[in-house]
Amino acid sequence: MGKKKVRFDFVTMGFIAPAFLFFTLFIIVPTIASVYYSFTSWDGLNPVVKFVGLANYKEIFTSARFGNALRNTVILTAFISILENSMALILALIVDNVKWGKNS
């Protein structure tokens, strides 16, 4: 077997570049900025950005509100998952038992 030569294709890059640019600008850059700002005490309005390290995370994880919010999220997620899957199963069983066509 011979080696297959990979060539640079401008048409392919023309199709990939807009999606890559969109993904980078609207997903990658904001994610990196969010991680950076999570280690600062910046309020979004003041031009002064002070690095505080893990203090923000320590404050969140030791807060009673975080535990309450986490508990509520887990309960809601479990309830909705069970409800949605139950409804989907019931509808699937109903559709499966329907007789389709002339000779039903």
- Class of residue 40 by CB neighbours under 10 A (exposed 0-12, middle 13-18, buried 19+): middle
Digits of tens for pLDDT over the chain (104 positions)?
Answer: 667 776 778 888 999 999 999 999 999 999 999 999 999 999 889 899 999 999 999 999 999 999 999 999 999 999 999 999 999 999 999 998 887 776 66
Q: What is the identity of the amino acid at 30? A: P
* Inter-CA distances, 6 with 2, 3, 9, 99, Å: 12, 9, 9, 54
Cβ atoms of 52 and 41 within 8 Å: the answer is yes
Q: What is the CA radius of gyration of the chain?
A: 26
Query: Which pLDDT does position 41 carry in this prediction?
Result: 93
pTM reported for the whole predicted model = 0.63
| Tokens linked to 14 | 């023309």
